[in-house]
Amino acid sequence: MHFGPHLLLATLEGLVTSAVLALTALGLSLVFGVMRVVNVAHGEFFMLGAVLAWAITSAIGGHPALGFLAALVIAPLIVGAVAVVAERLVLRRLNYNPEATIVATIGMLYIIQQLALTFYGPEARPVEPPFSYRILLPWFGYSGYKLSIIAASAVLLIATWLVLTRTKIGLIMRATQYDSETAQAFGISVGRVYGGVFALGAMLAAIAAVLIVPISQAHYLMGQDPLLLSFIVVIIGGLGSLRGTVVAAVLIGLSDGIISMFFSPTLAKIIATLLVAMVLVFRPQGLFGTASR
């Protein structure tokens, strides 16, 4: 294969990564933006989505598309419910204290991970894609399903953006983000907004996982890489900034695909993590963010 097609392939693979990463990171970013909570268990919600997708598709059987569509609806709902319970039982009682909530979400991470290991097991299990159409390009064939991930993610991102900017729910969320006390004074139930945002963040991660699981596999440790990458995206994009998150996700997703062609994955991770730590030290508002509030 020549360089051009090779680059096209790398770009397509990178865009798939970006698409999934943008959804996952957006969830993390929303939770941090509105609630000021750093959710270390975010990757486990991702993992839970994938594991549930496997459980649902294998329970339903029949045509793969049927099970997949069911998983796409049910898995995020279950994950959202888990998140609401966690928010009610733990985060709310901690008054959303930033440091205490980090410690608590670390606890959640271990609990979810270990429960998955106990009930799901240590195996990696595949989920069949809903359709297996291959698009034939002049140089290579490419999975139609992968392209549909990019499209689905774009639709979901635009939908989330519209909800945040054009609807009353979005207005309430932004009001709470801007000043929760004043929002409370205007009759907004801050507790419910926080519960909803935490669930929404977890559901975005779960949807991303359901989308990716037909081309990767469900495994109880699969939440670690998305967590790290989401952190990187949210920090580079500027904490709590929606547009920055999406731009950074595309940037990281593309460069991840391209970098891992040239370097060993471990070295790529070392460099990326170090760079991001340096961004946080020297430019805490992110590369694209303006001065912090």
If we measure between CA atoms, which residue out of 165, 164, 177 comes closest to residue 34? Answer: 177
How far apart are CB 221 and another protein at their closest, in Å? 11
> Which of the ranges 46-54, 64-72, 128-136, 267-275 carries the binding residues for another protein, by CB under 8 A?
267-275
How far apart are CB 211 and another protein at their closest, in Å? 26
Contact 28, 240 (CB under 8 A): no
Q: Count residues contacting another protein (CB under 8 A)?
A: 38
Give yes or no for residue 189 binding another protein (CB under 8 A): no
Q: What are the respective helix, strand and coil percentages of the chain, to the nearest 5?
A: 75, 5, 20
How far apart are CB 274 and another protein at their closest, in Å? 5
User: At 29, which amino acid appears?
Assistant: S
Q: Which is nearer to another protein, 100 or 163 (CB)?
A: 100
Burial 117-142 (b: 16+ CB within 10 A, else e): eeebeeeebebebbeeeeeeeeeeeb
Give yes or no for residue 276 binding another protein (CB under 8 A): yes
Burial of 265 (0-12, 13-18, 19+ CB in 10 A): exposed
How far apart are CB 174 and another protein at their closest, in Å? 21
Looking at the DSSP assignment, which residues form a beta bridge with residue 218? 125
Scanning residues 97 to 156, which ones bind another protein (CB under 8 A)? 98-100, 102-104, 106-111, 113-115, 117-118
Q: Contact positions toward another protein, by CB under 8 A?
A: 38, 90, 93-94, 98-100, 102-104, 106-111, 113-115, 117-118, 228, 231, 235, 264, 266-267, 269-270, 273-274, 276-278, 280-282, 284
